[in-house]
Structure 1
Amino acid sequence: MSAETNKGIKAATTLLLIATAAVLFRLAGGSRLCDPTALKQVLQGHEVLAPVIFVLLYGITPVLFLPGLPMAIAAGLLFGPVWGVVYAITGATLGASASFLVARHLAREWVVGKLSGEMWQNLDQKVGEQGWKIVAVTRLVPLFPFNLLNYAFGLTRIPFWHYVIASFLFMLPGCTAFIVFSSSLPQLLKGKASPSLFVGAALIAAVMLLPAWYRKRALQ
């Protein structure tokens, strides 16, 4: 069996394992953990370990293609605007890094072997040289599915730590916006409008306007 065939089998096996794990996790009710009420029940009685459990669960969501936004909202409800941001951005960065490493070490060689044309090589080189800028744009302006991008970046030659740092910095605005807003919801349900409600709403509006601003700037 050739080396290229072995790489192809390894890549296909990795994809199958991830898909199987995602399906089994959902069938076992794991997707319920994205619900703040269910997550709160899981964390009850684990006050000391609750942040660690939350970060690990959040880290799993991108790897298994589960939505991260419900986890971010849960972070604001469970931990407040400050620690909610700390735990959520840590979990999101952990998950993005894990997906990247899976693709980098288990599938990149096979992809490079298959896409060996000049166009791919030029693209791969540009991403390697200015990859953090591409990561920044895709984190700030959600043009493509977040979870899929984590794996896609792992197939390029962008340095791992450039990817991690850029992901952390440029996921932070959106993460902060939704968590600050969600932390105000318990008070809002009691008929009280806390400062975090207005701050969070303003931040969400700013994040939502980024795609339109980017498209306008790109056309100039």
Structure 2
Amino acid sequence: MHRSVLRILSALLLIGAVATALLYRDQLDIAALETWVNGAGAAAPLIFIGLYALATVLFLPGAVLTLAGGALFGPLWGTLYNLLGATLGATLAFLIARHLAGDWVQTRAKGLIARLIQGVEAEGWRFVAFTRLVPLFPFNLLNYALGLTRIRVLPYLLASLIFMLPGALAYTYLGFVGREAMAGSEGLIRNGLIALALLAAVAFLPRLITRLRQRPMLPVEELKRRLDTGDQDLLVLDVRTPEDFVGDQGHLAEAVNIPLEHLPDQIEALESNLERPIALICRTDRRSAQAAALLAGRGFAQVQVIQGGMTAWRAHGWPVEQAHAQAN
């Protein structure tokens, strides 16, 4: 009972601190911060890292501090200090959430929420890495949310440290270029081009990671084998139109029909299948490929396109159905 009261008081204190920080965040004076940190001498890096970590815990915008880190310490050391501050703050928020509410959420999570948590836990550090490179949720909120899962602390910390590096480097360098511009540096054009290249690389990363997460096409013969063996874990998702689903080609008895056009609106309903093997099928494999890119970009880990689609299935003479199957 005493521990529960202490946790409730701690949670209320945290909520109050976050609310106060958000209320006064417009008064965050970066120029005054730079003056104060510059006057700290050898302790400046440690002070800056601590402030960055505290800002992360209190939901203050990290991008502003990242730019300030580049202006204060340059592109190399600034990236290091920004990265350490962000990782420290993310880990503190993770541990706070786990201590205050981790057990409570684990024992009370039901239905879709429970399945979503289980999917994230099964992916582990890979889910952390993916969300750091391809931000799906606000950074500060995600730190607390991941603390409510059973992902281990060390993999979380290391994945955050490593996979936040590209973004930290790009925005730190941008802050450095801003300082050079104000100082009228002769290398401004060169540094500006480097900063733009880094930002372009960071912008391209989500597409690259999405492609890497996409698996090779699944031969239709392998799909038949898995269905014949009663693979209950496999979700067969037919992304044709409803008319095609019940049309001349028919559909697989095990298939669920969600047309490609409706898939973005159905993502939330499918989130319980984040770690479940999903076989995408259409008339050939073009619509399935588009659906696979969409699902991979939203964190689905085991998505495969059926090579040749229903056309290949029918070429083998295997059975199909024409009656409509409702999506779950």
User: Structure 1 length normalisation: TM-score?
Assistant: 0.85
Instruction: Tell me by how many angstroms 1:17 deviates.
Output: 1.5
Instruction: Tell me by how many angstroms 1:46 deviates.
Output: 1.1
For residues 113 and 89 of structure 2, the distance between their equivalents in structure 1, rounded to whole angstroms, comes to 27
Q: Partner amino acid for 1:21?
A: A
Q: Partner amino acid for 1:203?
A: L
Which of the residues 128, 133, 136 maps onto 1:140?
133
Give the alignment of 1:3-42 within 5 angstroms. 7=4, 12-25=8-21, 32-33=27-28, 35-42=29-36
Aligned residues between the structures: 213
Per-residue CA shift, 1:14-63, capped at 9, x if unaligned?
A: 43222211233456x67645x43121122242111111110000000111
Q: Is the 8 A contact 1:187 1:194 kept in 2?
A: no
Q: Is the 8 A contact 1:72 1:175 kept in 2?
A: yes
Unaligned residue ranges in structure 2 (runs of 5+): 215-292, 295-304, 306-328
Q: Which residue of 2 aligns with 1:170?
A: 163
Q: Relative CO higher for 1 or 2, CA cutoff 8 Å, sep ≥ 6? A: 1
Per-residue CA shift, 1:139-161, capped at 9, x if unaligned?
A: 11122110000000000011110
Q: Which residue of 2 aligns with 1:78?
A: 72
Q: Partner amino acid for 1:53?
A: I
For residues 30 and 118 of structure 1, the distance between their equivalents in structure 2, rounded to whole angstroms, comes to 37
Q: Is the 8 A contact 2:22 2:59 kept in 1?
A: no
Identity of aligned residues (%): 43
Q: Partner amino acid for 2:122?
A: E
Instruction: Tell me by how many angstroms 1:215 deviates.
Output: 5.9
For residues 31 and 171 of structure 1, the distance between their equivalents in structure 2, rounded to whole angstroms, comes to 26
Q: Is the 8 A contact 2:21 2:60 kept in 1?
A: no
Which of the residues 196, 204, 211 maps onto 1:201?
196
Q: Which residue of 2 aligns with 1:66?
A: 60
Q: Which residue of 2 aligns with 1:95?
A: 89
For residues 194 and 40 of structure 1, the distance between their equivalents in structure 2, rounded to whole angstroms, comes to 24
Unaligned residue ranges in structure 1 (runs of 5+): none
For residues 18 and 38 of structure 2, the distance between their equivalents in structure 1, rounded to whole angstroms, comes to 25
For residues 197 and 139 of structure 2, the distance between their equivalents in structure 1, rounded to whole angstroms, comes to 23
Name the CA shift for 1:215/1:44 in 2 (closer, same or farther; >3 Å): closer
Name the CA shift for 1:60/1:31 in 2 (closer, same or farther; >3 Å): farther
What SS is found at the alignment partner of 1:48? helix
Which of the residues 174, 187, 193 maps onto 1:181?
174
Q: By percentage of residues, which structure has more helix? A: 1
Q: Partner amino acid for 2:195?
A: G
Q: Partner amino acid for 1:91?
A: G
